[in-house]
Amino acid sequence: MIRIQNITKSFGRTQVLQDVSLDLPEGGVTALIGPNGAGKSTLLSIIARLAPADGGRVSIDGLDAHQAPSADLARLIAMLRQDNHLTARLTVRELIGFGRFPHSGGRLNAADQAAIDRAVAYLDLAELQHRFLDQLSGGQRQRAFVAMTIAQETKYLLLDEPLNNLDMKHARAMMRLLRQISQDLGKTVLVVLHDINFASCHADRIVAMKDGRIFATGTPRQIVAPEVLADLYETDIPVHDIDGRRIAAFYD
């Protein structure tokens, strides 16, 4: 389980996380939603130790995330960042191979190659695996970065807006994949989503953040509700029941 206790974080004078506490139980897909600037990316980065907190504590399976040896942490938790900048000219397969670093230490053995093959297949990248990243569309590149994260084969997976740039087919496939790896492989997935309908249809639970705080947590049925969404996003969002799911309609 991931236990987040009293995390605070400021940039300059702006406090972007205010005493955030949250327990994420093992297994399942948790969607993290909320308006721009709510602190979602900052919280994910702190959980994965990509950024320091000012106060508070994160523990993952009892391991202090900010004290544990980084190699131990890297075998337990992987994170897809919202903005991936790469200057090196790499192929898709080489990038995915980076995900194996905590296991391989830089020398890929047969087990690492097999894990790379699995990630290539999961993300539908077989035909693109020898292309350079700068020869890909935004959505193809996004899938390559997700494949790298999955190839790390950690128990916990944090994904910051993995649906960015994806077309409908690949967005749906991505959400099905996240559900599948949580169900079949017992992974615990925490995923930042902007499309609350994907959260509604695919997540086991939803955590909503606003103004650096946890605003609400619950099942999709509890969170994808007009009274919750109106306060969360400060705009009226009608919600319809379609085929037993709550679907927000906000395109008018």
Among 20-28, 29-37, 65-73, 122-130, which window interacts with ligand ADP (CB under 6 A)? 29-37
At its nearest, how many Å lie between Mg ion and the CB of residue 40? 5
Among 35-43, 99-107, 117-125, 134-142, which window interacts with ligand ADP (CB under 6 A)? 35-43
Nearest-angstrom CA–CA distance, 223 and 200: 8
Pick what 37 binds: ligand ADP, Mg ion, none; C-beta below 5 to 8 Å, kind-dependent: ligand ADP
Pick what 170 binds: Mg ion, ligand ADP, none; C-beta below 5 to 8 Å, kind-dependent: none
Does 40 sit near ligand ADP (CB under 6 A)? yes
DSSP single-letter state for residue 132: B
Does 142 sit near ligand ADP (CB under 6 A)? no
Among 29, 38, 41, 115, binds Mg ion (CB under 5 A): 41
- Give the position of tokens 């509604």: 200
Among 8, 27, 28, 37, binds ligand ADP (CB under 6 A): 37
> Which residues inside 62-121 make contact with Mg ion, applying CB under 5 A?
82
Nearest-angstrom CA–CA distance, 170 and 207: 24
Among 33-41, 54-62, 98-106, 241-249, which window interacts with ligand ADP (CB under 6 A)? 33-41
Strand 2-11 versus strand 55-60 pairing type: antiparallel
Phi-psi region for residue 243, left (φ > 0), alpha (ψ -120 to 50) or beta?
A: left
At its nearest, how many Å lie between Mg ion and the CB of residue 38? 8
Question: 3-state class of 158 per DSSP?
Answer: strand
Among 2, 4, 7, 16, binds ligand ADP (CB under 6 A): 16
Nearest-angstrom CA–CA distance, 101 and 138: 24
Count, residues near ligand ADP per rule CB under 6 A: 10
Phi-psi region for residue 108, left (φ > 0), alpha (ψ -120 to 50) or beta?
A: beta
28 versus 37: smaller Cβ distance to ligand ADP: 37
Nearest-angstrom CA–CA distance, 125 and 174: 13
At its nearest, how many Å lie between ligand ADP and the CB of residue 114? 34
Residues 35 and 210 sit within 8 Å (Cβ to Cβ)? yes
Strand 213-218 versus strand 63-64 pairing type: unpaired
Does 38 sit near ligand ADP (CB under 6 A)? yes
Nearest-angstrom CA–CA distance, 178 and 182: 6
Pick what 11 binds: ligand ADP, Mg ion, none; C-beta below 5 to 8 Å, kind-dependent: ligand ADP
* Phi, psi (deg, nearest 5) at residue 123: -100, 10
Strand 239-242 versus strand 245-248 pairing type: antiparallel
Enumerate binding residues for Mg ion (CB under 5 A). 40-41, 82
What residues line the site for ligand ADP (CB under 6 A)? 11, 16, 34, 36-42
